[in-house]
Chains A and B, each alone.
Chain A
Amino acid sequence: GQQVMQIPQYQHVQEGEDFTTYCNSSTTLSNIQWYKQRPGGHPVFLIQLVKSGEVKKQKRLTFQFGEAKKNSSLHITATQTTDVGTYFCAGPGSSGDKLTFGTGTRLAVRP
């Protein structure tokens, strides 16, 4: 079945440093979605990318969808303590009726 892996599993950065998480799917995706889950909270939908090579920005967050539509990345510029949490990517399966979530990257930020 479809597998979605993320690296790194965990990253600890100093506030102000940049952070990147990478997402790789075993199959081509029609779209890729990103979610953030704060400690003790629930996942919150951040964005959906659809086009090959698409890049979208949300303030300090930059999302990219690979040319082959099998990988994606999330880059945070100048991290803040409010960025703490686990970031998940997710993509639809071949039938398109459900999502497969990535393994997640947990971000910790030292003030």
Chain B
Amino acid sequence: DGGITQSPKYLFRKEGQNVTLSCEQNLNHDAMYWYRQDPGQGLRLIYYSQIVNDFQKGDIAEGYSVSREKKESFPLTVTSAQKNPTAFYLCASSALAGGGQYFGAGTRLSVL
């Protein structure tokens, strides 16, 4: 069963805490992306990666970090520097950069 798996589905962060969102894909896609979606809003790009061990900042990278050590995995860390982290986080992948993207089910992050 191919696809993108995000975990956890819900996550709560305490003030000053870093949290890591998992994203795994078995589609053999080279490109992976992280988006943030606020209620009733569109998708804003946080980070993206076209190849292992390389990634680029998107439009709203401040307060976030990523790694791409394996083709299948692209975890996102929401650091304590991100002062307004409450949002719906979506991971996506595509076979080619700029091609059709396939999304995971998302992680809803809230602040305690």
B97 adjacent to A97 (CB under 8 Å) = yes
Binds B, one of A40-48, A59-67, A70-78: A40-48
Chain A: interface size category: 20 to 34
B45 close to chain A: CB less than 8 A: yes
Smallest CB separation, B61 vs chain A (Å): 12
In the complex, the number of residue pairs spanning A and B with C-beta atoms less than 8 Å apart equals 52
Given contact pairs A42-B106, A98-B33, A101-B42, A48 touches B99 in the complex (Cβ within 8 A): yes
Kindly list chain B residues whose C-beta atoms are within 8 Å of the C-beta of A106: 40
Kindly list chain B residues whose C-beta atoms are within 8 Å of the C-beta of A44: 103
Contact of A96 (CB < 8 Å), options: B42, B58, B98: B98
B98 adjacent to A45 (CB under 8 Å) = no
Residues of A within 8 A of B (CB): 30-31, 33, 35, 41-45, 48, 88, 90, 92-93, 96-99, 101-104, 106
Residue of A nearest to B43 (CB): A101
B48-95: which residues lie under 8 A (CB-CB) from chain A? 48, 50, 56, 58, 90, 92
CA distance in complex: A72, B105 (Å): 27
Residue of A nearest to B96 (CB): A96
B20 close to chain A: CB less than 8 A: no
Kindly list chain B residues whose C-beta atoms are within 8 Å of the C-beta of A98: 33, 45, 48, 56, 58, 97-98
B98 adjacent to A30 (CB under 8 Å) = yes
A43 adjacent to B98 (CB under 8 Å) = no
B26-49: which residues lie under 8 A (CB-CB) from chain A? 31, 33, 40, 42-43, 45, 48
Kindly list chain B residues whose C-beta atoms are within 8 Å of the C-beta of A35: 101
Given contact pairs A42-B105, A97-B48, A48 touches B100 in the complex (Cβ within 8 A): yes
